[in-house]
Chains A and B, each alone.
Chain A
């Protein structure tokens, strides 16, 4: 006999808790996502492929992925630096900054979108400055990049912070007594300990950026082939009642999301094996 499917337990409430969990999960998550996959399956892979295989859609997927990757790289570096500053240094306003890091989570994306546009558009405070220097931020890929950096900002900070708090100072002391410079210690002792958490945050930030819509569409300008992100194309297809076209892009994005999810899990398994915690 193998393991039982569910172990007997003296704690009551199995029926009701399992019932609510499975019913709501099915209705709210599995049914809608299933509908996407079924619509895709009914259309058939060939139909989906012809829908996706247009230069405009490839351009948008490439734009979304490329800028999301750049934003996630920026957030990786900046997030580790910010987490380090918040964890190790004491300066006035530290608590406030720490709380403000979650602002992109708390601020609705549409609000962030119009606020960033107001600032970085050619008639905005920073946009006018950029204009004088001869370049444009809003309505170009750089504008999209700023919005994506904004929404992904908290992820790396929040995954790395608990790890910084847990680092034993003795390890750094040992490194220093063995003659390592501070830079050498950070590079070879501290950063490797932060790497798995930082990479998890990187992947989370990347996943968020690839699917981001609200904060981007205002600042993007939405020019086909130039500043049109993939989620926007889904909206456009739906407005044309082209459900198969929307499904095709939706499935393409779902595949990207799952790949990123697998990546996150792989990083966590790898780090657990290597260091014993995430």
Chain B
């Protein structure tokens, strides 16, 4: 019809005005809440210039914090990756009773406050417990030392890999593995040459998230670390100590390093979501 309006709009779309208002509202909130804090981190870190920032990173306190954080992640993340693969194999390749309970227990750490996680570690292995006391007497304390920090980090990141792998392996089914076995491959070889290539991107995705959280964990580690400078202070804990001492540039410089790690994680994660969408769990594809 000739008198149809020039700007024709499908009935399943909002009016341009509504659309623009919604987009604007969303962007304003995100700017205030997400982007401004990020800018603030780098602004505060670089307030006294690049050299100041770099100099604070070269201080022994910062270096030992970085070393400790990397050590903790280097132990906790591989252990959780092994757990994740084993748990996903166990849950998706066999039929047994109590699977739902097992899944709930694996997810449990996500619904417990990090501080409660730290408390649990103290109550299990603290110096006043049986095991903790023995270890302290033997000269290897668990709480207020590396093992406690690793354990606390492991608990808070425990579900990440398993959670990512299980849906992917459910979707892939068992037929490929069964075929390989019928053709005479050993169980290990089947896993290495059939399963692993199928799940590698999902595994990497889970490991990425697990690592980001392990390196950035604050609440659980704060409880078990004891905050001994140069010994049990991870990067987030050191940030807190510096901040409370009004050493703002130093605190924000370390924070900026962790923020860069966060960017890297987000970047890789987004890359995987775009590039290897079909190898990730269905809910990750967008």
Q: Given A13-B89, A13-B93, decide whether A32 and B124 contact each other with a Cβ distance below 8 A.
A: yes
Nearest CB of chain B from residue A238's CB, rounded to whole Å: 6
Residue-wise interface mask of A (97-114) relative to B, using a CB-CB cutoff of 8 A (1 in contact, 0 not)? 111101111111111111
Stretch of B50-58, B133-141, B196-204, B265-273 contacting A (4+ beta carbons < 8 Å): B265-273
A29 CB within 8 Å of chain B: yes
Question: Does more than half of chain B's interface fall in helix, strand or loop, or is it mixed?
Answer: helix
B74 CB within 8 Å of chain A: no
- Give the residue of B11, B178, B258 whose beta carbon is less than 8 angstroms from that of A177: B11
- Give the residue of B38, B121, B151, B266 whose beta carbon is less than 8 angstroms from that of A115: B38
Say whether B266 contacts A213, CB under 8 Å: no
Contacts of A250 in B (CB 8 A): 115-116, 119-120
Q: Which B residues between 187 and 233 are near A, CB-CB below 8 angstroms?
A: 187, 190-191, 209, 212-213, 215-219, 222-223
- Give the residue of B13, B97, B243 whose beta carbon is less than 8 angstroms from that of A6: B97
**Residues of A within 8 Å of B, CB-based: how many?**
98
Contacts of B262 in A (CB 8 A): 103, 106-108, 111
Say whether A108 contacts B236, CB under 8 Å: yes
Say whether B109 contacts A29, CB under 8 Å: yes
Contacts of A28 in B (CB 8 A): 83, 151, 154-155, 158
Say whether B37 contacts A150, CB under 8 Å: yes
Say whether A82 contacts B115, CB under 8 Å: no
B94 CB within 8 Å of chain A: yes
Say whether B30 contacts A98, CB under 8 Å: no
Say whether B269 contacts A238, CB under 8 Å: no
- Give the residue of A11, A103, A172 whose beta carbon is less than 8 angstroms from that of B93: A11
Q: Which B residues between 88 and 125 are near A, CB-CB below 8 angstroms?
A: 89-91, 93-97, 102, 104-106, 108-109, 111-117, 119-124
Say whether B255 contacts A115, CB under 8 Å: yes
Contacts of B236 in A (CB 8 A): 108-111, 214
